[in-house]
A and B are shown apart, each in its own frame.
Chain A
């Protein structure tokens, strides 16, 4: 399978419905999306518009009922669960709203988790962990446990965990939704850096218009259709 030039994420005619009490509740029907490599896209929309479902499908933890989901050279809708898991381990990082760190592991160990799936020596893993923790400004806090950290610090650990395996794609699910304004701005600035300096393709679901403004473009998802927000060139 070949990657379409410039387009990294492509959704074609994607449909998804949930069945509740035997009744199909459609989320999307024939949804299309194309995101170039290196883009930073914010997805906004009202509750129930399907933002999380979209993110789950792009992360390969949910599958469309119909249509195609292609990221890079990988067509996720055609891959089995094991193959999608392996793809996630190597090509995608995810940042959660509530950080989702494992409480019994310290910051360095949480960040190291994705590296356990790679054929790296303990020394190589340690060096990579030190590097990304330094990158997110947590150098010296390697041994701290999540319970000892602020929300902003925990989210930095979450971002470090998402990028430690050097994935091309970063999916962020309301990454600032649980943070105060200052911490939120720090995190958004960090995401911008990851996009601009390291070239990560970022798709961020958010309710926060300020967060969305820091993305290169904003898509509004409503009634199963994307509408791109017009904005003045930066």
Chain B
């Protein structure tokens, strides 16, 4: 037989279902958030590390003139080299529909079975395969193909071949094709030879024995370079990634940072909520405590009962939240794996995360209950039995009370409104916790949506460099007099413009040169490009050797000032230029902008173009894609060799893809925070009304109508909502700047062009008012329905 006092505990849980659900929700939302963020982070990092370790990443890649497998074998014998492999990469174009191509980077390896470095793993289809093309798992959809399909591949220099996709592989070292706007494929060197491209390598990849020692790797780079050059080859470039770092390290770190930030915030806010809820629970139980003491209950018995009750709430919350959070963590990870190209072999949530949830789900409520339970058990029998619901202690004469008294004299405030305002500030500790929850919820909600707006703004600003619909890149320069009329013949083409693109190196005073950077030469008065200016001015039609650089270039050359002379090496010859302006980056690396006319003369390409920019009649993605295909077909039928096409919506989409995942995660967190906030407000309003039940009876006894009681309670709730909105919106300004900066740096390497989401700030105002009204409506309705006799004899 269950002792009667424990029956009381069980019945208290069962008979007050709404209250039980509210407390479980308050605890559960925190437990869920911890499980989601800690579980998601644990799975993601574990699987990323596992996948990365399984590739056996190379320490460095040396790009050289063609070499054979004999040289590879010789280089492998150099002391300190653990493994070495020759590779070759070929940029290609794949025709995915008639006249529509997509970029494909083909990596050739000696033998799939003998892979030692940057390993790829089979997922489906034939493996290992001597002939045929293997496609990276996240590239297949991008190529609009399936395993077994024959695809038409342009391997450059007019060489077009049909290749069969024989299998799917996972390469943890490359991103999703939708992010890079380029697919990844793999063949053997044997296949390349069969295609007539020779059986040589141009990349030497190796792994050092001391793979974590960067100095040792640099020393080996030099040793290998000397050896290669002694063999009669030239080393063009050496790429040495930071040892042990995944290519998406910064994205991962940002994700982890956001996971931790939001996890901790939600936990703290949920903790506040639990404190408020348990305090409310104890406030409701005071009279019961009095009765139990009256019939002989000892303090420790009472404390035991309430601690068990709180532990039961915690346990129920844990039982519900742990499985839900596990599922949510596994789902969230799936989004991230799509971005980071990770394969989830094991999606189990580690035990320590569940332990953390159980500890938090039981520990935080018990800790939160410590003071209210001890306080409740310590109350004297007399005080507990005489708890009548008119809270005298909280009516003070502090600053706010005096302010309202003055307001009353100065403003014609109606008495019920004044009661609501005074009620709002009566329990300052509780109000502070509720406000803290709602303010942080508001601030983070607005910050997340401001980051989303900043992403849009940044992408819009990027597109200021692409004020056209389709860009057609030619395999070689063509005469503008030939291509422009040809393109304009096509129905749907509104305007065209010819550009030249190239590369240049800055020549320093000591005759050394910088890395090669991109150069864009557009007509000076072009309407197809309208970048914002960071400093100086844009190019004028009268300009000759004037130069505008982007911030990436300016950051890499901090010695340069506006008006300075910059010597550039173009096509092997040095020319002086005058720097007149700096424009923002489009996250595509250092770029120089010059006048078409002057550059064309310099590059001996007068009247020629490497790229044709086209404005079409309609600007949606589907129409742009269709026009790109039609333009390719039309130009190629006239003998013009098109290398590739890109649409501006395609550029926007690939830029946006990575952001969508991060923003999606942030919005999920914002919704959780909003849930915690609304639960907090509901709890606070319920406690406030319960504590004042007698007071409401008095109000009704002296003539307050049902509606008047409802209005008083609703106004109180909405005042709290409004206060949280005001302070939350102000807090959102620095918070959103920080978040935009962090997300921008992680995904683009530049801060986002910050935009405050004013529209969402006001949408949230409406939401928070509705939320406050909804949270107060239940208590307001209950309060208005109580009869005067009931509330005045409230026992």
Q: Do A and B come from one complex?
A: no
Q: A: which residues have CB within 8 A of B?
A: none
Q: B: which residues have CB within 8 A of A?
A: none
